[in-house]
Structure 1
């Protein structure tokens, strides 16, 4: 792979594409509303991490939709959010029948994130496909962030997502990318740029392929690469935080590629701050989130 095909993600690059900023009179509505569809009975924390990520990135309002039996508990630990309980399967996954309820709520949000902490690939595929088919693909509809198991079904049948060209970001790691493309993880690792370009073209969406070097690729093949992260980012829940950050930035009005580039940098630099203060290994995904506003403020200050 030729590194000259990649644009380095640096502070100077980000300052050349500044994030939308609310004016002095703006209220929380001006910073957008995020709906996080996430979590399950075995993995409720994915919804928590993604939801906080959206708020730390500057989104104005947060709604979280999760499995009914964990929704009250999530509401207690995330008092900033409106938390909705959804029908669940016997195994504790969000049931596909929830798509009808979600579509109405999602239509009133700027951004919808689907995937963190969800289980049961077939149920998630049915839910994701049904929800994307119900959402308005026009400019008035919400933009989308797709993460984790929500991507596997779209790899087999991208048609629901193809209704929303130019309005989504996918955030897979190498294993999820392999499932999406129907190949092995080793094949993704051998040429991650080619894999990311193939996925972006297949889904007609911006793809952020996470790894030691995270690559952000558009459907047209343009690639940005962030190489400044730390090994400590490879920890449980880290991807959920990144997906939430990207969703929050999109709710504020950032374009999909801008939100993905900024989100990857903010996530990585938050890890670098923790590495310097705590150590390169052992910090927690939830600890990343409190670092994000400071990194944003430093970039804005130049």
Structure 2
């Protein structure tokens, strides 16, 4: 499919990245200056998604990390991710995070610089209710992924990023997947305006749209990025960049660009297919170093 750009559209390419540099820590900076991230998600059946997202947030340069997950998963996650504080939240009988668990995060809501909700969470209705309640309790930039994106049409919350692929956008918008694939820029831009959020409509060509009608296009990466867990890494990378101070539109654009370039690096190192999502996260620092 050919992609054209309008007057209001920018292409996210090497020239764009050079003219919109990442913030660089000063000589005396510490973990506090690089931002405090809260990642909420996980379930007994999908415990790895939150591990991938949380790891990517740190790999993207965030300084402090708190992870909140269901009580069944928390001990395993604490062992797998020693860099994080891990909070065990109550879960329902079917493995979803209980909405009442938002209250257990009250002490953090004024202390975090960026929030990610959704990776690995099960049961859409419960996840949406949890995400809405948590968004209402926080004011920092937020990224919604997977089922948590269902909270955005009624959230009316500024500084929020949603990261759907075409199928998820179809579900959120009520359109068919074919419509989304055929009119990605128009649909992403309309959704961003309707939801007053930054929309990352991800794919081989990713459209990043802001509520002010700006639409940015990124084309790159490779087929190997289409692997289980890759979207969790992208969401984690974006929230890490938001914690470092990038606004939602720029943080989303950089997150997409770094994710794609990590895939390109791994294709050269390992092969075009078969590298793992965890390896995408691990490649982010090397890719960022090119632009330091």
TM over 0.5: yes
Partners in 1 of 2:19 and 2:189 — Cα distance? 24
Q: 2:60 aligns with which of 57, 60, 70?
A: 57
After TM superposition, list the pairs within 5 Å mapping 1:1-302 onto structure 2: 3-5=4-6, 6-135=9-138, 141-155=139-153, 158=154, 160=155, 162=156, 164-165=157-158, 167-300=159-292
CA contact (8 A) 1:180 1:199 kept: no
> Any unmatched runs of 5+ in structure 2?
none
Change (3 A) 1:256 1:153: closer
Partners in 2 of 1:103 and 1:144 — Cα distance? 16
In the superposition, the TM-score normalised over structure 1's length comes to 0.93
CA contact (8 A) 1:62 1:81 kept: yes
Change (3 A) 1:2 1:272: closer
Name the structure 2 match of 1:138. none
Partners in 1 of 2:279 and 2:24 — Cα distance? 25
CA contact (8 A) 1:40 1:119 kept: yes
Q: Secondary structure at the match of 1:4?
A: coil
Question: How many matched pairs?
Answer: 289
Partners in 1 of 2:109 and 2:84 — Cα distance? 15
Q: Secondary structure at the match of 1:249?
A: helix
CA contact (8 A) 1:34 1:112 kept: yes
Q: Secondary structure at the match of 2:231?
A: helix
CA contact (8 A) 1:153 1:180 kept: no
Computed over aligned residues only, the root mean square deviation of the Cα atoms, in angstroms, reads: 1.3
Partners in 1 of 2:95 and 2:190 — Cα distance? 33
In the superposition, the TM-score normalised over structure 2's length comes to 0.96
Q: Secondary structure at the match of 1:225?
A: strand
Partners in 1 of 2:34 and 2:290 — Cα distance? 20
Q: Secondary structure at the match of 2:291?
A: helix
Shift of 1:52: 0.4
Q: Please list the CA deviations of residues 248-294 of structure 1 after superposition, one character each: whole Å capped at 9, or x if unmatched.
A: 00101111111101000000000001111211111111111111111
